[in-house]
Structure 1
Amino acid sequence: MAVSISQPKLKIKEKSSQKPKDLFSSLSWSRRVKGKELMLFTSQMSLMLETGNPLNRALGVMVPQIQNPYFKEIIEKILEQIESGQLFSEALGKYTKVFSPLFISMIRAGESGGLLKQMMKQLADYYRQREEYISAIRKALTYPIILMAFSILVVFFVIAYVFPKLAIFLEGKEALLPWSTRLLMGLSHLLKNYWYLIFLGLAALAFGIRALGKNQKAVAFFERQQMNIPIVNRMLIQFYTSHFLSTLGFLMSAGVPLLDGLLITRSLVRNALYRNFIQELIESVEKGKGFSPPFRKQSFLPAAVKEMIQTGEETGSLNQVIIRLGEHYSQEFRKGMESFCAILEPVIIIFMGVLVGIIVLSIIIPIFRLSSGAH
């Protein structure tokens, strides 16, 4: 049975007016709470509530265990507000930079239906599964990233330290040098004499990327272009489809109404294409046209998703279908990521071998030619 949430309008964004107590907690890098910290918090809170502890006692026990000063300060203030008579969800709503709309809505649903400890357990499961998901992605990408970083360091070392010394020995003998040696010597000269311009260029590039990241039209354009890249587009569709459906299914299984669940999910999905799609779903549900019609219009969605969503809506099993689809595409994404990284690793190794080979030949060939010419 769905738990109704009595509220005039679901608020997705609120700004906290809380001020830090000390210098450390005011630092921008410290004013964040990691997903792992939320996972531990919800897991321990779930255990405290299940063992019969009242909410304020559970929070009071949690405070000394929290290592993050910023997070600890927030929980302390939430505890003060609860003891002064505020609802838990109202207190959480003042810290939307830490607690997502999903978190707040789950707690609100638990308060409305007297199911707070069950909702906290579901949140603990959600954050645990999310952390396992993120950990799997990081694990798959770690080795390829290390290989790429090592390749870049090798090239930088040769250009910055080896070729400047070699250039003195090869000065005036450019005609005998192969193109690869001349290219690396040119890069070495550029790095040595115009390093500040390179630094300024990289800084300008970083600033430009950051500025574009704040431009919604630019972000939407690049996200659309990502969907046109072979292999990558399939993985992105699997990732965003699983994120969208898993989040919505999780909310609906907790008793959050469909429309509120869509509003919350839209605020959590970063891809503009999917946000626009979710907005179409919201409008369709508000107008009474149903949930499935907007699915049929989307060319990027797999045909199986469209058919199963329509069947689920017609048979009254939409929630179960959404959850199963979310789990399916989550598994498909993980398998795809593992396969992609398995292919990427030998490609990077081959690239490194070719790169190192070119560098070695660029050093040996001119030395060999000069020594042969001397005889």
Structure 2
Amino acid sequence: MAQYFAYKARNLAGDLITGKIEAENRNKAISQLRERRIFVVDIKEAPALDAGIKLDRFFQPKVGGRELAVMCRQFATMVQAGVPLLQTIGIISQQSDNKTLKKTMKNVGSNLEGGKSLTDSVKPYPRVFPDIFTSMIEAGELSGDLEHVLERLAVIFEKEHYMKEKIKSAMTYPAVVLVVAVLAVTALMVFVLPTMTQMLIDMKVPLPVTTTMIIALSDFLRNQWYVVFGLVIALFFGYKAAVKTGRGKKLKDNIVLKLPVVGPLNQKIIVSRFCRSLSTLLRSGVPVLQSLEVVKNIVNNHRVNMSLLDAERSIKEGQSFAKPIQRSRFFPPMVGTMISIGEETGSIDSLLEKVAEFYENEVDDMVARLSSLVEPVLLVGMGLVVGFILVSIMLPIFSLYDNIQ
């Protein structure tokens, strides 16, 4: 059984280097390092790279699209300037503000010093480098066009970051309004209503059905709040567990796509991401079947993956790539038409890029409209809920006033 060994060693230049290596035993680990012209100073057993649950993973900063885009821009510039690969990795590691990326780049540098290729050096870190990064780096190394591949990666990470930030900024204000509304209604039900309802009960005023319902809900929230809290937590973790199953993931994807407003927006986001990613992969020289595998992981939607599996079968049988996309009920006709034209003219990558730009603009427009629509809907909804509560309490008071007169 293979084990991991942590080592300190010196290379041919006499520099002290550290790293980890996988081997069946200590002697074979030393032999493998010697074959790479690395001479061991100290070596000992180390835990597997991904063994166990490491608490620091939960507290490490994530590496987002912005950090990856900046890293790719720096990488491309230094490659173009002729800076050696190992030195480039070291410079990026020193300049990175993200602790996770800094540490990962140091490990990549150690792997390179150990004689691995750049592709094999980044593969052990899928939490930092997504599949599209690894596949395109591999294509860039094989074609000798690493500089342009890195520039394309920077563009795709920048586009992805911009789209996410656009959606976040549009949804921030409505989310804040929703949270404030929920807190306000909860405070009204828990702290204000009990005083008023107790007065009505003491005066033995006949209570309408709506008032009785509001009082019962208020008592439940005050006395059984832990049930509500536990139910929310159970629903959250139950949802997380369900979407990890194949059936749950399929159900979630189908429900999201059928939701009004959100469904069409999600579809356009997926289509733009699909076209942008596939265009970039093909332009970088990644084989079409491998590109489709990478795109499936990027899109991560059951309906799209089924369409792409159909496309893979069609390509393996020597048939058209466009026809399965045209048969799909998910992709708009424009996508299938463009792929069909691209197959005939040999320009699928450039046509897919144009489709991606079109749908990215569509997403921008929809997000702007959705933001302006959600705000008044939430305010009206909040007003209706608060108004219903107040009317339910005021009705018996009015009834009491009429009886007195």
The TM-score by the shorter chain falls in which range?
0.7 to 0.9
Pair 1:229 & 2:255 matched? no
In 2, distance between residues paired with 1:174 and 1:302?
Answer: 64
Instruction: Give the letter aligned to residue 18 of structure 1.
Output: L
Q: Which residue of 2 aligns with 1:165?
A: 195
C-alpha distance 120-309 of structure 1, shift in aligned 2 (>3 A)? closer
1:344 corresponds, among 367, 371, 374, to 374
Distance 1:35 1:289 in 2: 36
How far apart are residue 62 of structure 1 and its match? 2.1
Q: Judge conservation of contact 2:279–2:352 (CA < 8 Å) in 1.
A: yes
- CA 1:274–1:17 in structure 2 vs 1: closer, same or farther (change >3 Å)? farther
TM-score, normalised to structure 1's length? 0.87
* Partner residue in 2 for 1:188: 218
User: Structure 2 unaligned runs (5+)?
Assistant: 1-46
Q: Distance in 1 between matches of 2:227 and 2:355?
A: 51
From 205, 219, 232, the counterpart of 1:202: 232
1:63-74 correspondence runs (5 A):
63-74=93-104
Distance, in Å, in 2 between the alignment partners of 1:134 and 1:73 is 25
2:95 matches 1:103: no
Distance 1:174 1:350, change over 3 A: farther
- Name the % identity: 28
Quick one: structure 1 residues 208 and 90, their matched pair in 2 at CA, closer, same or farther if it must change by over 3 Å? Answer: same
The count of residues paired between Structure 1 and Structure 2 equals 357
Q: How does 1:82-161 map to 2 (within 5 A)?
A: 82-161=112-191
The whole-number CA distance in structure 1 between the counterparts of 2:320 and 2:258 is: 30
Distance apart, 1:244 and its partner CA: 1.1
State how far apart, in whole Å, the 1-side matches of 2:212 and 2:71 are. 59
Which of 64-73 and 54-63 deviates more? 64-73
Q: Distance in 1 between matches of 2:330 and 2:57?
A: 42
State the TM-score, normalized to the length of structure 2.
0.81
SS at match of 1:28: helix
Greater RCO (CA < 8 Å, at least 6 residues apart)? 1
Given the superposition, is the C-alpha separation of residues 311 and 69 from structure 1 closer, same or farther in structure 2, using an over 3 Å criterion? closer
Matches within 5 A, 1:256-275: 256-275=286-305
Residue 173 of structure 1 deviates from its aligned partner by 4.8
Q: Tell me how far apart the structure 2 counterparts of residues 224 and 34 of structure 1 sit (CA, whole Å).
A: 27
More strand by share: 2
- Which residue is 1:301 aligned to? 331
**Cα contact 1:212–1:219 (8 A) shared by 2:** yes
- SS across alignment from 1:94: coil
Superposed CA offset, 1:107-144 (max 9, x none): 11221222222222221222112111111111111122
Please give the secondary structure, in 2, of the residue aligned with 1:85.
coil
1:6-53 deviation digits (Å, cap 9, x = unpaired):
xxxxxxxxxx94269xx8x72424274233322332233333333432
Q: Please identify the structure whose Cα radius of gyration is greater.
A: 2
Where does structure 1 lack aligned partners over 5 or more consecutive residues? Answer: 1-15
Contact 1:46 1:124 in 2 (8 A): no
Structure 2 distance, partners of 1:19, 1:354, is 52
1:205 to partner: Cα distance: 1.6
| Residue identity matched to 1:224 | N
What do you get for the CA RMSD once the two structures are aligned?
2.4
